[in-house]
Structure formats: structure tokens, C-alpha cells
Structure 1
């Protein structure tokens, strides 16, 4: 058996092109006339405040969605069309062979089969109207700016947006990582009935996480309910945050942030309640080892019978040179379990939470419009969001943490962390556990809840938290902890009543916790002494030993310490062995080469960059002031690329009146360097400052920089 030709296409495409009869496949010419008139269907007003943030007022929800799309297109049309091409499986037709893997994955996952089958029957009319309106907003902007539009983009339909949810959400809990492990030949271990090596999973978290914190009135010094919305994302690209304020006369009234291609607020607050989203990674992917018929490899064994695979043809249109494109074909196999991969080291079927699910927009619209804790939970109970934690607060003083996921209803007595035998139909689950089975912490006596990509069993302190013994091991619930979770537990527990200033201080904490496993390993290294190290490392060793575990921008030990520590933190995710002495040597060499000393101020090394400007930063990997960097090849410093991005502080007073403040890592104009909003929030961001979120129309108009109707 061979690896998929699509997977190796990036390296072979031009070889094929040399011998193939290459076709020039041009996209169909699109008549822009009806698209240019499409705005007449919608009644919407866009008011941009002094920071360029769009405040969108529509008569209907559809009008508001249309305006959101138009505003996003103005600020970042390039990313929007990349997202659309990717979810259509047409990225390789425009970007070339390197994008073929994404196009193949779309077809392997059956994204468009699910959308076409259920769009008119499973999705509500309200969701379809919003999706189509959002598509029309992009269509109008594209028709007005045809020089920006890539081939195959126009026209968009509502189905494009629904396909985006179906495709992208499983990637947040690691579906693509599980798939990659199959292709790279990672040794597989087969589960045996009655042998459960793990009761709960300690799934490896990505280095980039998120956090949310909610504080009840009795824990606040002024009786207010507080919510921190603080997801950690890449600062640019298809999952970078875009801020907006949405209002319609049909009850949509929310402020917060979303991604390119999403017609709703993904986390934020309305008048009544708000929530912060963080990534969780329960075990939601199952791999089955199939037995092929030795006389017919298009059949597999199931319940003692040879069963035929369903076989389709995946066709990937790939751009080769200029206008020249070639359609590559690859058979797609599927079994009762799900999609099948025939690989050199075996044949595997995969099944995952959210496969074929297209109702996510309905759930998000319900979350956006919820007015109480009961309505919020009813929205979560739609259960069309495969994963994602929610940290919740509302104007009535309720707080909660939901370890939200679509948990498969699996057979007990098997270790679902391992591969399953593919010949037993009883192991093919076809249903999910009800929302009541989701681990949740509601209104604990401690007065606070939090999540920082850690186990739901650490969501507060004291009574009220979920207990491991109450949940089936088949749910694959995480038990891991992050530095950020340890810091939140320590800081929130130590505080008495929490003021607004305390809340800010906790969010912007820049320290590693002494209980973090990686810190323990570092301390053990230091305790062993430097006698076995080369003399050239003794000064670096002494500097590391002097470190206070902080990442303040003026800290002269922090740069060396963080560079040395980061592989220790990452090793939890990769299981790699880390030689601390070697990491210390490499960190010393880098600092000496780039800064001519091993103790430069931390802010000289870690920088927040936008255009030609850069600013010194504090914070680091897996601290509450989260900063993840890569090396700037031009200037040599470490450039901030992910982590703290969109941050929102929300308060409800004793009368239930809401107010909030927010900050974006750069500004509302994602790609337009000529815009005054390209980097206008960056100086505030680096100084831990923010700006008011304007909720009242009169306030928005008093600070408006632009007021228009698309």
C-alpha cells in the first residue's frame, strides 16, 4: 500500500507536470452586476469609533451580519478569501501544490457532503439568513474591488460559511494532529477489552492557549461581577481576533471578537451575560485498525463478514505555473466507522466528534442572544460545538465554567486512548452524551472560576468543582495543568476581596509558578551545581540561578531563563528529552551573538512588532501575560507572534448594568499599513492599557471616525 498521492503532492507536482498533458483551467467569468446591487437587500449602518472598531446597526439580524462581513472585508479581505478558498477545497487551485493537503483534508472529512445534505433541513432559517447575508457582504466588497479578488472566490454563498465551522472546529481539539500521527508512521497501540491503562487522559496542550476568569459579587470589593476574556491566538491570519459591536432590532446586541469568515461573535458579552472561550482537548478522535480481505483490498472485516468500502474520487485542482492547472485524483475510502486511510503500515478508519455537524452557527447565534444562565446552557445543549471551554458570568451575579464538548457515547471497558479493533461494530459509536454530562462548576463558594487550558477538575478551589470519579473514563477528560492555571489558583486564592485593580494585576501577572513541573526540573538542575559544566557556562549558570521566575521587561536574567525554560515547558507537549545544559548553552550563544551580552534587559529581546515599529514586552510562554515569539531574522530580537491578543474586561454592577474595556494587539485595520488603525492600539497593548467599549449609540456617534452604509 502507498501513502496518499495528495499528501506527497507538494513535492511531486512539478515532476508530474513535466510529463503530463497540462490543462489550462480558467475559472468561470463572474458577472459582477448583480453583486454590485446586492447591498440594496440590506438595511445596515456601520459606525467606526475613534479606533476604527466597527459598530454595526441593522434592522434585522441578516442586515447586521451583512455589515459585519463588509467591515471585515474592508479591514482584511485577503485573509477572508483565503479562508473561503480553504473551506471550499480550492486553495491549491490558486496557491499551488503546497495547499493540496488542505483541499484533500476537506474532502476526506466529508465537509461538503454534510453541508449539501443538511443545509436546508438541519440548519434553521435564521442561521441560513445570517450566513447568506454575511456571504453577500463579502460579495459586495469583492465586486467593488475586483482587482483584489483571487480566482474561484466569487460568488460566495451561505454554505461557504457553514462549511468553515464544520472544517475548522475539530482542528481546535487536535483532529489534524491525530491525522498527522497516522501518516507519519507513529507506532500504534491496540486497545484490548477490559484493559484500561489510563483512566483519564493528560492530553498534551498546545503551547498557545487561552484563559478566562469570572469573579462573583461576594468576592469583589465593590460587589461587581467581573469577567476576563483573554484568548491566546496568532496575532495575524485566519484565527486572529477581529473586534466588532453588533446590534439588530431582532435582539442581537453584543460586543466582542470573531475570526475572519465567522458571522457571529465567538466570545464577548451582551447586556446580560458574557463568556470567554478557551481550548480544551478531551479525547474526541478514535482510530480503528481495519483488517483487509487478502483477496480483495476493497473489503474490510466487520462482525465476521467482508464488507465493501464506499469509494469516491477526490479531485484536487492544482495550480502549477501561471494559468496552468492540473486535476489530480485520489480515491477516498470510507467504512462504517468513517473515512479510511490505506497506508504502508496499516489501514485505519477514523471517527471524531463533530463529524458531519453543520449546526454550529445556530448554537453561536443562541449564545450571542442568551439573556440568562438558563438560556446560555440551553444554547450549549444544542451540542453542535465539538469542543471549547466557556468561562461564564452574568448580570445576576452567576459565574460558571463549562468543560464543553461533544463527548461520544462510547462502550465502557475499552481504553479509547489507543486504537480500536475495526472488526467490531459495537465499537462504532453513533451518539453523544447529553449536556448534563459536561463537567461544570457553577457558583462555587470560593467566588471565582477560571480556565487556562487545564483540567476541569481545577476550575476553582474548594467545593463545587467536578470530581474525576463522577465521569466515565471513556470521555477522555484532561487532567493536566498549566503554569497559568497554577498562577490563577495561587493569586485568586490568596486575594481577599478582589478590586478592579487586583483583577488587572492578576491578569497581567508575569511570573512562573514555583509548583510548575518545568520549574522543578530547572531547580533540580541548579541544585546539582555547575562543577560538571564547562567554565564558559559558569556565568550563565549564575545568572540563571539568580532569576526570580519573572518576565519583567527590565529583568536582566529573564531572557536567558525563558529561552532555557521554554523547551522544558514544550517537552510536556512533545515528550522530548530536554538537556538543560545544552539549552543553556544555546541561549547564551544566541544572546551573546545578538546582544553582545548574556544579560540584556528582557524587553530588548522580546519585542512587539508592527510595521516598522517595535516595543519592549514583558510576559512569556505559559504566563498569564502570554507571549510567544519567533526570531526576527532582520533585527535578531524575538518577535511576538501569538498569545495575548484580544483582551476584554467586563463588569456588571449591583443593578446588572454592564460596562467593559478592551484592547487589541494591533488595531482594527489588519492589513492596511496606511490606515491610522493599523497599529494604533499597539502602544496601549504593550503598557497593559485598554480603552472603553462603547455600547450606547450616542457615545459611539460622539467618538465616530466614520459613519456609512455599504
Structure 2
């Protein structure tokens, strides 16, 4: 009897502990009543065109930002709330243990320490108003649709959106890759699409590439200035493009695209100018090897003295199952260099461009409102964007490429690509080089500039390009070249002037260039002949030798060629130890197994898929028609997951009047499969077609599919 009572008492205590855990770690209760009235604070009108693209008209900038937040929530609320949870460091509380590494990274980077200390004083009042209005737009939608809201999300604050810039932008130049390389075992990267979005996974992510091209009037056959905006992103997830047009009576008038959680257009155009953003990867992360005190492991050597490490705790709430959560605590260390990692193979401090930087929204707002080349450059000179190239054009006929980055002002004489001694304080840089020091190409005699994730030293042809000898090695400027850059260099100089049709043809080029190292390696392999290969590969070798290096949808040799070269041309899978005979055998076996032949038309293999619809596609990894795929294990098709996504063509005529056309990979309804705009742009996308961007109310209203005021009038279809 006593034993039974003891068991009952233990069970009661366990039950009480479980209830206490649920209560202590439960998400806070949010009164959505005040959120439902947020629309009363803002004067905004959202007009969706025939493709569902939101055109947002506000009186103030804040009104327009509110409308953008609401419209984006209508189309992609699930992604927005995941972005907010991630940038707060609360993703694991909802998604479970797999997301804990992201929450740890937020704390390691000190994102919220920077925000809490500088949000009210460093960030401008204008930027705060825009961020908070955008958050209000999301909050209103969430309050109207509580069934879609995850725990811990509401209310969303302006700070959450600023945190997104501070956290995500260093990932574009590879901060996470450098960081994870410090750990033993498999490197892990932050996934940016699909079910693993914003968590760490053991696989390469889709390439964050892009290209931009600007053509001056003297290079255009009709005297127009032209700009291609063509970023290559994952087709879904937190860094997939969302198309919008923004207008306020305070001078904000942009058309283009943005990411979930970004309350501005990230690249596009206004009446006066436009720009295309492309990823650049200068060396912006420095690793220092620290010497710890053998008698006190919380002290490190600096300038001959033992200095105490700063220490704090990373407390991470993790959902285990059902309503059960547990707070796990990990110590965080920091030296004067930055965050410190104590690992089995050493102790390392890291320092990176953009650490603690919270002014990025100020810079983007200045870019959005710039009206001239001088104002655009002044906006870049704010220096709060850690990296990202800008290819620029304007109504005056100016064109430029800016290798935009926060380049640390480092001490000469050291190889900053390697680990640095942590005991020398003179190696702890504290400032960045001025904007005037970054490589740039302005109005070259050739009449064109471009960037395709290549070195800034190849931005055109002939005079006007930056020269390597003019820039210090300590700046860490990349020197690599891509197939797309080689193709642009070749195609842009084929004719003295370019027509609009030429411009489109160049953008949608589907070929690999003979000067690409991977193609030269292929040529050497083919030149060696097939005698060294087993007879079973001779037919495949003959087909490979006949390949014209194109990825046209009807090309019978392209699938074999691309699969054979994948480890040389696809940045996610690139290796140095490639044996092309083995790659050819694997490609042959894959095609034979899934398609019953080695020469299926390329478009039968490479598919653009949305819901239950599928279209043949041309293009491949690192072609100007950029397509990055994943293999479908059931059907064998290569499904398009990244690359060409939002494409925009902009023109200014000789009178300075702007017009543009654009296309999205799927449509404006990012997640709603029942919407007519879930995939209505996909058929145009696969055919190299686009749609007009309607830049005035007079142009827009005859094509409006919805016209409403969030929180004021019903938003029914």
C-alpha cells in the first residue's frame, strides 16, 4: 500500500511538473482587438492588376509601407512569420530542435544587442516609421486570420524587420560558410528554401547568383538607355522575390521586387533611375586564433596581457513535442575581436563586415528615393549594406557598375584570407574604407556594363574598368569569372549597337562559353577519344561530342552534357577531383534509368513545376538563362528550384520617359494554390515572355482585379 502511494505521489509530481512546464513555456496570450483597428491609422489604397501584382498608393511613406506589409501577408504570410521567428531567435520554439542552430546564430551574432542599443538613436525616424508601418500591415492581416498564426509571432514589431537585415545580409557573402567551416564534421549551411528554410542542413543551397546589364544610349540602336534586372534566387522561401509597385506623396515611387520581411523595393526602378543587385563575395570575414590562459580558460592573450572574455548565456526555447518546450542554455563568449568559439581544435574569434549594423533600411530608402546618379552614389556611401553589387542606369543615359561592399580597413602586410593571430590588437580593424575606394565602372566608352557574380575587373570591355593593381589585396576583392560573365562579354560586343530584340536574346542565351574552364576540360576529355572508355560508354561519348553546348528545350544532347558537367558548372556541387569518364557513366545511367534513352529532349528532363502543372524548360546552371534544379527521385525529372525568378527590362527613351516589363517565375500568390495568381505567370516565364509594368493610375485602373483599403473595406476577390 505504501509503495502504491509512493508511485501515485511521484506520478502526481510528474504531472504537476508537466503542467508547470506547459504554463511557463506557453506562448503569451495576445489581444488581437487593437490589431484589428490598425487600418484606421493609415491612408493607403491597394490596386492589384490582372496578375494580382499589388500597386500600393499611400499618402505618406508609412502608409505605403503598411500597404506593402498587408499585401505581402495576403500572399505569403507563412513565410513572413517564419522570417520573423528566425530573426527574433524564436524559430526553435515553434519548429523544434532542428531550428535551434539558427536561434543560436542570432545570439552569437549579437543581433538584438545591436538593435536594443541603437534602434531609437542610430536608425532614422523615417526608417523606424516605415518598418513599424510594414509590421502593422502584417499584424492587421494576422489579426483578421488568426487560424494562420503560429505561436509567439504576434505582435510583429518594426525591430523584427530591422533584425532581418542585420542577420541575413552577411549570409549573402558567405558568413555562415566561414563560420561553420570552423567546426569539426560536416559543414552546415543555412538553407533558404523549402521545408528546411532558415534551418541548417547538410547540403549545398541553391546558388544566390544574379546578373545585371546596363546599356547606354550610344550602344542602343534606338538611342534608349536599357537595364536588365535579373537576380537568381530560390523560387520559394525567405529570399524568393515578391513583385510590387510602391507610390507615396512623399517621393517614394518604385517598381520592382523585394523579399518577405523587407519593407522596401530591393531592386527595381523609379522614374529617374534603376539598379540590378547581384551577389558579390569579397573576403569580409576574419578569423583569429586565440591563446587561452592555461590557468584560466576564460582569459585570452592580447598585447602581452591576459584579458577576460566577456561571457553571457544563449537561452533558447525549444519545442520538444506537442506543447512541451524546454529552455536550453549555452554560454556565449566574446573578445575584443568579436564572438568567440571554443572548439576541440582551438579557440577562434570572428569579425565580419556588417556586425552590429542596423542602418540598412536607411540606405535602401535613400536608394529607392534617389533621383540622380549623385544621389544614388550618396545613398551607397551611407555604407550600411555589407555587400551586393549594383548595376545602374538612369534617364540621363548614365550607366555604372558598383562593387558595393563594406570593405574593412585592414593592416597591410598580412594574408587576410587565412587565420590571424589573436594576440595582436593592431589586427582588430574598426573602420571601413570609404565608398570612393570601392571598384566602380562609370560610363565606359564601350557603352555597356554588366555583372554576373564575377570579378569587378571584368565589368565591360576596354577602358574604364577597374584595374587589379589599383586595389590592395587586403580588400579581399574576388577575381573569379562565371560562364555568364564570359557570355555577356562575348555577346555584348558582337555588334556595334543593340536592338531591344538583341537585348532579350542576350538575356535568354542558353549556351556555355568556349572560354569557360569546364568546357575546356570537356574539350580535352573528348579529344582523348573513346578508346580509353568501355564500349558501353561509346554511344554516350559520341552524343557528348556532338553537343553544341546549348541547353535548348529540344536539344537531345543537352541533358547528358549538363549532367556530365554538373560537378564543374553547378556551384552547389562543384568539386576539384572530377573524373569526367565517371561523370559521363553516371549521367548515362541516370537518363537510361529514368527516361529509357540517353538522348531525351532537354525539356523533357528539366521542368518548371508549379502545383500539378509542369512545363519544359531551357537553361542550366550558370547560363544566362539560369536554371538550378533538384532531382525528383520518383520521376527522375530535374525540377527547377532556383535561378531566373524575377526578371525586369527597363527602358528610358530619349526624352527620359521610363517604361518597363517584368515576369515572375510563378505569380503573386506565393502560397495560395487556389488563387488564379498562384502560377499564372509561369507559362509566360517558360516562353521568355513578360508583361507590362503599369506605372500610372491611368494605365493601371482598366486592368485592376481588386481595389481596396486594408482594414477599411472588404478585401474580397
Q: Report the TM range for the smaller structure's normalisation.
A: over 0.9
**Deviation of 1:633 (Å):** 2.8
2: CA distance, partners of 1:247 / 1:568: 45
Q: Is the 8 A contact 1:358 1:384 kept in 2?
A: yes
Q: Is the 8 A contact 2:554 2:602 kept in 1?
A: yes
Q: CA separation of 1:450/1:573 partners in 2, compared to 1, >3 Å: closer, same or farther?
A: farther
Q: Is the 8 A contact 1:207 1:622 kept in 2?
A: no
TM-score by length of structure 1 reads 0.94
**Deviation of 1:496 (Å):** 1.6
**Deviation of 1:614 (Å):** 0.3
1: CA distance, partners of 2:181 / 2:574: 12
**Deviation of 1:566 (Å):** 1.4
Q: Is the 8 A contact 2:44 2:58 kept in 1?
A: yes
- Give the secondary-structure state (helix, strand or coil) at the position aligned to 1:183: coil
Q: Which residue of 2 aligns with 1:375?
A: 375
Segments of 4+ moved more than 6 angstroms: none
Residue pairs, 1:585-664, within 5 angstroms: 585-664=585-664
What are the Cα deviations for residues 399-450 of structure 1, in whole angstroms up to 9, with x where unaligned?
0000000000000000000000000000000000000001000000000000
**Deviation of 1:185 (Å):** 6.3
Q: Does 1:52 align with 2:52?
A: yes
- Give the secondary-structure state (helix, strand or coil) at the position aligned to 2:21: coil
Q: Which residue of 1 aligns with 2:543?
A: 543
Q: CA separation of 1:571/1:253 partners in 2, compared to 1, >3 Å: closer, same or farther?
A: closer
Q: Which residue of 2 aligns with 1:23?
A: 21
TM-score by length of structure 2 reads 0.93
2: CA distance, partners of 1:452 / 1:157: 36
Q: Which residue of 1 aligns with 2:397?
A: 397
Q: Which residue of 2 aligns with 1:669?
A: 669
Runs of 5+ consecutive residues of structure 1 not aligned to the other structure:
1-16, 188-203
Q: Is the 8 A contact 1:205 1:453 kept in 2?
A: no
**Deviation of 1:208 (Å):** 4.0
1: CA distance, partners of 2:561 / 2:570: 14
Q: Which residue of 1 aligns with 2:84?
A: 84
Q: Which residue of 1 aligns with 2:429?
A: 429
1: CA distance, partners of 2:466 / 2:528: 40
Residue range with higher mean Cα deviation, 569-578 or 428-437: 569-578
**Deviation of 1:38 (Å):** 1.0
1: CA distance, partners of 2:628 / 2:511: 15
What are the Cα deviations for residues 124-178 of structure 1, in whole angstroms up to 9, with x where unaligned?
0000000000000000000000000000000011000000000000000000000
Q: Is the 8 A contact 1:389 1:402 kept in 2?
A: yes
**Deviation of 1:393 (Å):** 0.1
Q: Which residue of 2 aligns with 1:329?
A: 329
Q: Which residue of 2 aligns with 1:256?
A: 256
Q: Does 1:274 align with 2:292?
A: no
Q: Does 1:218 align with 2:218?
A: yes
Q: Is the 8 A contact 1:205 1:573 kept in 2?
A: no
- Give the secondary-structure state (helix, strand or coil) at the position aligned to 1:23: helix
CA RMSD of aligned residues (A): 1.5
Runs of 5+ consecutive residues of structure 2 not aligned to the other structure:
1-13, 188-203, 711-717
Q: Is the 8 A contact 2:566 2:573 kept in 1?
A: no
Q: Does 1:40 align with 2:40?
A: yes
Q: Which residue of 2 aligns with 1:412?
A: 412
**Deviation of 1:23 (Å):** 2.4
Q: CA separation of 1:519/1:223 partners in 2, compared to 1, >3 Å: closer, same or farther?
A: same
Q: Which residue of 2 aligns with 1:199?
A: none
1: CA distance, partners of 2:532 / 2:636: 31
Q: CA separation of 1:459/1:205 partners in 2, compared to 1, >3 Å: closer, same or farther?
A: farther
Q: Is the 8 A contact 2:208 2:279 kept in 1?
A: no
- Give the secondary-structure state (helix, strand or coil) at the position aligned to 1:341: strand
2: CA distance, partners of 1:324 / 1:23: 7
Q: Is the 8 A contact 2:207 2:233 kept in 1?
A: no
Q: CA separation of 1:465/1:573 partners in 2, compared to 1, >3 Å: closer, same or farther?
A: farther
Q: Which residue of 2 aligns with 1:3?
A: none
- Give the secondary-structure state (helix, strand or coil) at the position aligned to 1:162: helix
Residue pairs, 1:200-211, within 5 angstroms: 207-211=207-211
What are the Cα deviations for residues 432-475 of structure 1, in whole angstroms up to 9, with x where unaligned?
00000010000000000000000000000000000001111100
2: CA distance, partners of 1:186 / 1:27: 34
**Deviation of 1:575 (Å):** 4.5
Q: Which residue of 2 aligns with 1:315?
A: 315
What are the Cα deviations for residues 669-702 of structure 1, in whole angstroms up to 9, with x where unaligned?
0010110000000000000000000001111111
- Give the secondary-structure state (helix, strand or coil) at the position aligned to 1:120: coil
- Give the secondary-structure state (helix, strand or coil) at the position aligned to 1:494: coil
- Give the secondary-structure state (helix, strand or coil) at the position aligned to 2:501: helix
What are the Cα deviations for residues 111-131 of structure 1, in whole angstroms up to 9, with x where unaligned?
000001000000000000000
